[in-house]
Amino acid sequence: TQLLEQSPQFLSIQEGENLTVYCNSSSVFSSLQWYRQEPGEGPVLLVTVVTGGEVKKLKRLTFQFGDARKDSSLHITAAQPGDTGLYLCAGPNFGNEKLTFGTGTRLTIIP
Amino acid sequence: DAGITQSPRHKVTETGTPVTLRCHQTENHRYMYWYRQDPGHGLRLIHYSYGVKDTDKGEVSDGYSVSRSKTEDFLLTLESATSSQTSVYFCAISRLGMGEQYFGPGTRLTVT
C-alpha cells in the first residue's frame, strides 16, 4: 500500500503570512492531486500535478511536484481567512482504480 | 460543480437497525466511491464501483454492503448499524478510476 504523509498536521497563522505544507511518500506516484475541504462540505479538487518538477499556480497558491514524484508541496502567499480548511493530497494506486489520500493538514488563518 | 447529491444529509439511528445512504450523480461517470471520514483517520475507502453491478471492497468494508443497479445511483447499506459506524460519509465520482474525484456534500450519521 502506498502511503502519503502530510505535514504539519495542524497550522495556525496570521492573515498575510506565507506558509508551506508538505505531502511525502516513499513510493513513486504517477500524479498527485490536492483537495481543500471546508467544514461541513466534501473535499474540492484544487489541482493535479503530473510531471516531476512541475509547478502550478492557482492565484496565491503554488503547487510543486517533486522531481522524483514522491512528494509535493503547497505554498500559500499572503494567507487569507478564506484559505482556512483541511488540505488533502491524494495519489493513484498503481494497478487499481483507487486513490490514496494523505493524512491532511488542517489550516487556520487568523484575521 | 459536479452533479452529485447525497441523501439523507443527516441521520440518527439506533444500534442494530439497517441504514441505507444514497449517492446520485448526473455526470454519467463510470466510477463511484464511498468513504468515511473520522477524526484522526482521514478519508477511508469503504467500497467502490467501476460500473453497473461491478463493485469492490475498500480498506474498511466490514459491516457495509453496496449496490449499483444503474449508472447514476450508488447505495451504501449498513445491515445492522453499530456505534463504531458513527461518522461522516462521502460519496465521490470519477470519470477515470485513478483520476480526479468529485465529492458529494456528505452524510452525517449518528448511531446511538
pLDDT tens column, A7-58: 999 999 999 999 999 999 999 999 999 999 999 999 999 999 999 999 999 9
Amino acid identity at B40: G
User: Model confidence over B50-84: pLDDT tens digits?
Assistant: 999 999 999 999 999 999 999 999 999 999 999 99
Q: Which of B42, B98, B102 is facing A45, going by the closest CB pair?
A: B102
Taking the CA atoms of A87, A92, A96 and A97 in sequence, report the sign of the dihedral they define. Answer: positive
Inter-chain contacts counted by CB atoms under 8 A, chains A and B: 48
Taking CA–CA distances from B48, the nearest residue in chain A reads A98
Helix, strand, or coil (residue B33): strand
| Residue B92: all three cell numbers together | 465521490
Instruction: Name every chain B residue with its beta carbon within 8 A of the beta carbon of A88.
Output: 42-43
Q: Is there a contact between B34 and B66 (Cβ–Cβ < 8 Å)?
A: yes
B105 touches chain A (CB under 8 A): yes
Please indicate if any CB of chain A lies within 8 Å of the CB of B98.
Answer: yes
Give dist(CA A48, CA B62) in Å, integer. Answer: 32
**What 3-state DSSP class applies to A59?**
coil
Instruction: Average the pLDDT over B36-51 and give the result.
Output: 91
> Is residue B98 over pLDDT 80?
no
Q: How confident is the model at residue B39 (pLDDT cuts 50, 70, 90)?
A: confident
Q: Greatest CA separation found in chain B?
A: 38
Whole-number pLDDT of residue A1: 67
Per CB-CB distance under 8 Å, the chain B contacts of A90 are 101
A40 within 8 A of A30, measured Cβ to Cβ: no
A window 49-68, beta carbon within 8 A of B = none
pLDDT value at position A97? 78
A40 touches chain B (CB under 8 A): yes
